[in-house]
Structure 1
């Protein structure tokens, strides 16, 4: 298995996966909506332009491909598309083409505890696709990360402004993972036998721990305001009434995962402290 198609290749995780595939000398095809985002990187990959929500644009995309790795999904809904349009239907379009093209394995990135969080729009869509993948007849692997470092950037943003707001007592733990480390897990699963992989970063941290790391990174004193959970529930109810479905979805997901444990088996080397410090360097340029 040495010909890999990466869907969602211009996204945060997709880009890391492509770079790691190239480093390992694997023949890589990047399925992209906007090829110009990749051409500037000068990576030795084949580019395939497609609109994943349109099955016609995917015709023959998997011909000669051994493994598909799909990071397709939306964190911020744009173009009037919903989670069902992308996280479910676009992946299903790709899966159908993978079956037609003779793909041997399909690797899909979902979310930790996705099965228990089906009441949330994004998880409902992701898990609906997982069900289709499991009964597809293809060999598969479902990667379930505890969260990306990029998801934790909001802690850094709040610290920059001088105060971090947490729901509850801040003791809930998680171990988000850097995109580069997660990419390695995805690629290792190409030749693995495990059907589902739960994975997080190398440090299990409470929300207070994350807040402290963020304030240290921006060199500001620790200031945390703890918000009672009833206020979170009121915000969710009010947002659902006042906001469009597309705007409510990200709020719904964020506010629900903030009040549950999101710890998974530890993997990788890159730390949250180094990630926050890298944000310092980027923003000082």
Structure 2
């Protein structure tokens, strides 16, 4: 039986990939910092408690492994690590182990339009690792989702507080994807020939439409305030100038992608409306 090593198994997407792997014909090994965060119903997996930022703790982690999937990256900043520490260096540490063990393929989840957004701290680190992976000599696959439903929770939170604030006219479009829809593709990528997969969810929506879905789920009056775009640009200037990368990295990415279309080929069956309905029920 072939074996897959999954890094990032306790994150949003990683948890869905782990479940998908469990239902597949692969043996599964995971690297996690906190094993207690693994789903309690996950069984028959090999668990390595280690930190990818510390190479000594993952020595020989890819021994007897055929494939590697990494979802490792900073989304919500909680530690003192920077993007280059995690999105780049931690993944590079894992890649070195994968090369040493001569794994068959390394699949990495990056971001949509990452190549165009290298001026952002998050994308600069991710794309630097992408280049390392491409030049590693290993077979690889770069998966670029437009965004996750979990990211869209910010709209829902604003709606629950009474008002959603958008920059510009709210007509930029996106089609975020549910982790449950993306996970099977990540597993299939191990056996497919594609070296880069760009993917989004089934619904292409404007920011105004996303806002309305959030209000409808809450059964609340729709209150959307459109702010002039210069305020977004000024906010970017302020956070970059007066705060640390630890704080402004996620804000920088969020404020930048709000001012562009994030639309990729449609896949999946999960709809944002249902996601918001579930949040409302909770």
TM-score range, shorter chain: over 0.9
What's the counterpart of residue 175 of structure 2?
A: 175
User: SS in structure 2 opposite 1:190?
Assistant: coil
What's the counterpart of residue 262 of structure 2?
A: 262
Q: How does 1:95-134 map to 2 (within 5 A)?
A: 95-134=95-134
What's the counterpart of residue 211 of structure 1?
A: 211
How far off its partner does 1:99 sit? 0.4
User: SS in structure 2 opposite 1:191?
Assistant: coil
Quick one: distance in 2 between partners of 1:220 and 1:123? 36
Q: How does 1:188-227 map to 2 (within 5 A)?
A: 188-227=188-227
Quick one: distance in 2 between partners of 1:6 and 1:48? 10
**Structure 2 length normalisation: TM-score?**
0.98
User: SS in structure 2 opposite 1:194?
Assistant: coil
* Aligned partners of 1:199 and 1:266 also within 8 Å: yes
What's the counterpart of residue 243 of structure 1?
A: 243
How far off its partner does 1:80 sit? 1.0
Quick one: distance in 2 between partners of 1:42 and 1:248? 35
* Aligned partners of 2:19 and 2:42 also within 8 Å: no
List per-residue Cα deviations over 1:10-67 (Å, max 9, x = no partner). Answer: 1000000000111123211111111111263343321111110011111010001011
Quick one: distance in 2 between partners of 1:93 and 1:118? 21
List per-residue Cα deviations over 1:192-251 (Å, max 9, x = no partner). Answer: 101100000011111111011100011101111001110111111111222111001111
Aligned length: 282
- Structure 1: which 5+ runs fail to align? none
**Structure 1 length normalisation: TM-score?**
0.97
Quick one: distance in 2 between partners of 1:155 and 1:61? 39
Quick one: distance in 2 between partners of 1:76 and 1:152? 14
List per-residue Cα deviations over 1:69-99 (Å, max 9, x = no partner). Answer: 0000011223210000000000000000000
User: SS in structure 1 opposite 2:217?
Assistant: helix
**Which sits farther off after the overlay, 69-78 or 92-101?**
69-78
Q: How does 1:141-160 map to 2 (within 5 A)?
A: 141-160=141-160
Quick one: distance in 2 between partners of 1:247 and 1:111? 20
Quick one: distance in 2 between partners of 1:111 and 1:271? 20
* Aligned partners of 2:142 and 2:195 also within 8 Å: yes
Quick one: distance in 2 between partners of 1:38 and 1:113? 31
User: SS in structure 1 opposite 2:38?
Assistant: helix
Quick one: distance in 2 between partners of 1:167 and 1:181? 29
Quick one: distance in 1 between partners of 2:136 and 2:216? 48
**CA RMSD after TM alignment:** 1.1
What's the counterpart of residue 7 of structure 2?
A: 7
Quick one: distance in 2 between partners of 1:42 and 1:3? 16
User: SS in structure 1 opposite 2:92?
Assistant: helix
* Aligned partners of 1:111 and 1:145 also within 8 Å: yes
List per-residue Cα deviations over 1:112-159 (Å, max 9, x = no partner). Answer: 000000000000000000000000000000000000000010000011
What's the counterpart of residue 49 of structure 2?
A: 49
User: SS in structure 1 opposite 2:197?
Assistant: strand
Quick one: distance in 2 between partners of 1:209 and 1:36? 38
